Amino acid sequence: MLRLRRWAQLLRTIIGVPDYERYVCHMRAHHADAPLLTPTEFCTARLNARYSRPGSRCC
Amino acid sequence: MRSVRHVILWGLIAALGAGSLGRVALSRGESINAAWLLTAAICTYLIGYRFYARFIATKIFALDADRATPALRKSDGHDYVPTNRWVVFGHHFAAIAGPGPLVGPTLAAQFGYLPGALWIVIGVVVGGAVQDFVILCASVRRDGRSLGQMAKDEIGPVAGITALVAVLGIMIVLISVLALVVVNALKSSPWGTVTITLTIPIAMFMGLYLRFLRPDRVLEASAIGVAMLVGALWAGQWVAANPALAPLFTLSGPTIALLIMAYGFAASVLPVWLLLAPRDYLSAFVKIGVVVALAIGILLVLPPLAMPAVTQFIDGSGPVFSGKVFPFVFITIACGAISGFHALIASGTTPKLLAREPDAVLVGYGAMLTESLVAIMALIAACVLTPGVYFAINAPVAAIGTTAESAALAVAQWGFVLQPGEMDALARSVGETSLLSRTGGAPSLAVGMAHLFDRALGGGGMALWYHFAIMFEALFILTTLDAGTRVGRFMLQDLGGQLWPRFRDVTWQPAVWIASALFVSCWGYFLYQGVTDPLGGINSLWPLFGMANQLLAAVALCVGTTVIIRMGKARYAWTTLVPLCWLLIVVFTAGWQKLFSADPRIGFLSHANKFSALHAAGTLPPGIESLDALPRMVFNDRLDAAVAAFFLLSVIVIVVDSVRTWLAVISGRQPAGSTEVPAQSVSLFVAD
């Protein structure tokens, strides 16, 4: 089961899915007092950033 | 003991590679097996990876596992995230691999398999992989800066702005030519049209599913999406066989072109979670799946190559595109050998994910080698077809006429064999009405792949495999097209914002709509011009795209060389100077010929002059229906010439600016001083 989860995690990172859990971990560890985005807000912000810079996609 | 084994192992790989390469290069008159080509390529890659990449890593950049990468130093949980190197490799490969390495080698097969194969294998080891790797290393040492920023910082502001404008121009040409490939693949094909159209609601369903039904279940949604894609394939077959529905989806080229423009516009203004992101997830899985399937298919079948090593078209008289093997094979195959676009990705997301500096070898150099292998496989799939079939599919109407008889006659004149019934039987077996003059490379590649898959799995499925291949090629292309249109919109908004700050606001709808419409009409114009061109469009647009891509590579190599010289490693600057000089020779020769060649099949301007003379005399050239079309074609030729001239001038600006910097640093007038972020030890940082 754990191995399956790790594979799923791997596939998600490869295709570039924003990882909310990792973001929460980071915020808790480094900016504990800053407000957290909700999962939807986080997702929207990440995707918008990804599709606004050249070099997100190639020929 | 270990070193002895090491020497023996690499000696064997070198001997095997050299032997296979010799077999590929020297066989004449007998058909050779694809296995030789594959072995030669893989052995060359292994040696390049083991020795040349390591040489650059240690001698130039001195990559250091103890030096913290931006992912570690600036770790923020979303942009900068230290990531396992195989994951970064997969991510980077999925971002760089697209339709380019599939289409280019297919078109270049008109010269025979040898010129393309040699350029792909040698070009990548000495050029393409070096470019990606050097730019990745440079960006990692500079907090993940983009190519444009590095051009500005390292060379100067003029080079920086020129690079920015050139990138915008290159994207317009790239998107239009790729869209043209899709149009030619879907023209008069109800099966293909239905399947591709269905991928759009499928992606939107996935988007809604991920947003409202089961948030974050990306893999689940992708699995459903893939299953629905298979369903779309069957639905297409069903529609194509239905006499009432089939005519509704049998569309002409211009109609499909307009629909694709509407799609590009929608993708640019709709929220990304609804269309772009789910499409990308789907496309990434399909991409990896197809690459693996193609490799397995080729390994299982090990087909003989039906195309000769070299055809007579190296003299420049080829029907697929005009121009001699030098310089045009190096323009036609960009992705797979060297592609400037990769420099944008190697200085985009990837450097922000790298956990350790030495991982850059696998990610920068290794991923490009893998893409090159994809290009070799595409070349094999195209060369599996007999030359007669290959040219009947890829030559425009102006060269082979519109009937099976005229095509067979034209092919016979070129010295190849095509039975009059052969093309009809082939078209029927793949479920199409005709395969004649389906230019653009996608249909012939799909036929080649269908052959391979069909033989690997025992036969009977040609039609399904053909449309499967068309579907994934179109899926790749549309993901480049929609993401590219959106990025183009942002770049336009940014440029417009210089004049009127409010235009930069990406949430202000009027600006979003105007910028999107403007960018779509830019590439849409070239697309429409290509679709209505009786010579097929690919003829003029693909060389333009190839030149643009190689010029971007030249810009990247200028940046790379400047970085190396300013590091004080001028004695190793040949690593980037050699491919840079080669590209400049190739691109300026090709550009000069496209502009000024007296042969109207090659030169834009002489073609324009010929057609305006014909218009003045009132004579119709073959394949053109009305005199009114001529002034438009003359204008388009002159526009293409202007675009080519603009690309060449931008590169001259950047090269001159770079050489000025190099000479200043080497002569000591400017201090070498590297602009790298100072080294910090890994031990200072703790990963999340």
Instruction: Indicate which CATH number applies to the domain containing B112.
Output: 1.20.1740.10
Q: Which residues pair with B354 in a beta bridge?
A: B83
Residues of A in contact with B172 (CB under 8 A): none
Average pLDDT over residues B220-249: 94
Rounded mean pLDDT, B240-244:
94
Contacts of B198 (CB under 8 A, 6+ apart): B228, B232, B235, B236
How many CB contacts within 8 angstroms connect chain A with chain B? 140
- Is pLDDT at B348 greater than 70 in this prediction? yes
Write the DSSP symbol of residue B334: -
pLDDT band of B237, cuts 50, 70, 90: very high
Q: Identify which of A17, A25, A57 has the shortest CB distance to residue B479.
A: A57
CA distances from A51 to B215, B229, B484, B526, B649 (A): 20, 24, 9, 24, 29
C-alpha to C-alpha distance for B14 and B264, rounded to whole angstroms? 47
From B79, B273, B335, residue closest to A59, measured CB to CB: B335
Residue B491 is assigned to a structural domain of this protein: yes
Q: Where are the alpha helices (DSSP H) in B384-438?
A: 387-394, 397-400, 404-413, 420-429
* Residue pair B492/B241 in contact by the 8 Å Cβ criterion: no
Give the whole-number percent of chain B exceeding pLDDT 90. Answer: 72
| Banded pLDDT at B562 (limits 50, 70, 90) | very high
Return the residue in A23, A36, A59 with the most chain B beta carbons within 10 A, the one to mutate for interface testing.
A59
- Please give the Cα distance from B401 to B395 (Å, whole number): 9
pLDDT at B265: 96
- Closest-CA distance, B488 to chain A, in angstroms, reads 8
The pLDDT tens digits of the residues spanning B316-336 come to 999 998 899 999 999 999 989
pTM to 2 decimal places:
0.94
Q: CB–CB of B284 and A15 under 8 A? A: yes
Lowest mean pLDDT among B116-125, B211-220, B645-654: B211-220
Cβ–Cβ < 8 Å for B634, B615: yes
A-chain CB neighbours of B549 within 8 Å are 59
Mean pLDDT over A27-55 rounds to: 83
**pLDDT score of B641 more than 90:** yes
Dihedral sign for Cα atoms in the order B126, B132, B133, B139: positive
- Higher per-residue confidence, B550 vs B2: B550
CA dihedral (B135, B138, B140, B144) in degrees, to 10, reads: -80
pLDDT of residue A55 exceeding 70: no
At residue A57, the pLDDT reads 64
Statement: residue A23 has pLDDT above 90: no
User: What was the pLDDT predicted at B686?
Assistant: 67
Tell me whether residues A58 and B480 touch, CB distance under 8 A: yes
Query: Is residue B604 a contact partner of residue B643, using CB atoms and an 8 Å limit?
Result: no
Its ipTM equals 0.90
Give the whole-angstrom CA distance, residue B290 versus residue B84.
Answer: 24
Domain annotation covers residue B533: yes
More confident residue, B216 or B487: B487
Q: Is residue B529 part of a domain?
A: yes
Q: What is the pLDDT of residue B558?
A: 95
Which of A39, A40, A54 lies nearest to residue B491, judging by beta carbons? A54
DSSP string, B62-111: ---TTBPPHHHHT--SSSS--B-HHHHHHHHHHHH-SSHHHHHHHHHGGG
Residues of chain A whose beta carbon is less than 8 angstroms from a beta carbon of chain B are 8, 10-20, 22-27, 29, 39-40, 42-44, 46-59
Mean confidence (pLDDT) of chain B: 92
User: What confidence score (pLDDT) does residue B76 get?
Assistant: 85
Average pLDDT estimate for A26-32 = 85
Q: In this predicted structure, what is the pLDDT of residue B688? A: 53
For the cut 90, the answer to whether the pLDDT of residue A11 exceeds it is no
**Residue A56: its chain B contacts at CB < 8 A?**
95, 345, 348-349, 483, 487
B160 or B554, which is more confident? B554
- In Å, how far are B27, B135, B306, B440, B550 from B556, measured between CA atoms? 37, 7, 37, 28, 10
CB contact under 8 A, B167 and A54: yes
Is B686 part of a structural domain of the chain? no
pLDDT at B294 over 60: yes
Q: Is B139 helix (H, G, I), strand (E, B) or coil?
A: helix
Identify the top-confidence range among A33-42, B537-546, B654-663.
Answer: B654-663
Closest residue to A51, CB basis, from B100, B480, B483: B483
Listed in sequence order, the DSSP H helices in B124-189 are 129-140, 147-150, 157-186
Contacts of B655 (CB under 8 A, 6+ apart): B554, B558, B584
Q: Average pLDDT for residues B106-122, to the nearest whole number?
A: 96
Q: Which of B79, B216, B285 sits opposite A39 (nearest CB)?
A: B216
Partners of A55 on chain B (C-beta within 8 Å) are: 146-147, 341, 344-345, 347-349
Determine which of B30-34, B235-239, B411-415 has the lowest per-residue pLDDT on average.
B30-34
Nearest chain B residue (CA) to A17 = B218
Q: Name the minimum distance, in Å, from the CA of A20 to any CA of chain B.
A: 8
In a domain, B687, yes or no: no
pLDDT of the residue at B18 = 93
Interchain contact, B487 vs A51, CB within 8 Å: yes
Residue of A nearest to B76 (CA): A26
Q: Check pLDDT > 70 for residue B364.
A: yes
Interchain proximity B76–A26, CB inside 8 Å: yes
pLDDT band at B494 (very low <50, low <70, confident <90, very high): confident
**Nearest CB partner across the interface for A47, out of B167, B215, B277:** B277
For chain B, how many structural domains are there in total? 1
Chain B residues with beta carbon closer than 8 angstroms to that of A31: none
B299 occurs within a structural domain = yes
Q: Which of B533, B553, B539 is nearest to B625 (CA)?
A: B533
Reading phi first (left if > 0) and then psi (alpha if -120 to 50, else beta), residue B481 is in alpha
Query: Please, what is the Cα angle at B285 between B250 and B368, to 5 degrees?
Result: 105
**Distance, C-alpha B267 to centroid of its chain:** 21
Residue B196 falls within a domain, yes or no? Answer: no
Q: Is the pLDDT of residue B378 over 60?
A: yes
Other beta carbons less than 10 A from residue A33's beta carbon: 5
In this model, does residue B465 exceed pLDDT 70? yes
Q: Would you state the structure tokens that stand for residue B285, as one six-digit string?
A: 């899985």
Q: Mutating which of B272, B285, B505, B552 best tests the A interface, going by the most A Cβ atoms within 10 A?
A: B272
Question: Is pLDDT of A53 > 80?
Answer: no
Range with lowest mean pLDDT among B173-182, B502-511, B534-543, B562-571:
B534-543
CA-nearest residue to B335 within chain A is A59
- Residue B267 phi/psi, 5° resolution? -65, -30
Please give the average per-residue pLDDT across B78-85, as a whole number: 89
Task: Quote the distance between the C-alpha of residue B611 and its chain's center.
Answer: 31
Range of the domain at B607: 2-188+251-666
| Predicted confidence (pLDDT) per residue in B162-195, tens digit | 888 888 888 899 999 999 999 999 999 999 999 9
Alpha-carbon torsion B500, B170, B182, A14, what sign? negative
> Across the interface, do A51 and B276 touch by the CB < 8 Å criterion?
yes
**Contact B283/A58 with Cβ under 8 angstroms?**
no
The pLDDT assigned to A59 comes to 67
pLDDT given at position B208: 95
Confidence of residue B398 (pLDDT cuts 50, 70, 90): confident
More confident residue, A6 or B262: B262
Confidence of residue A52 (pLDDT cuts 50, 70, 90): confident
Determine the average pLDDT of the residues in B186-213. 94
Task: Determine, yes or no, domain membership for B678.
Answer: no
Max Cα-Cα span within chain A: 43
Which pair of structure tokens corresponds to residue B647?
């690309």
Beta partners for B33? B304
Which pLDDT score, from 0 to 100, does residue B505 have? 87
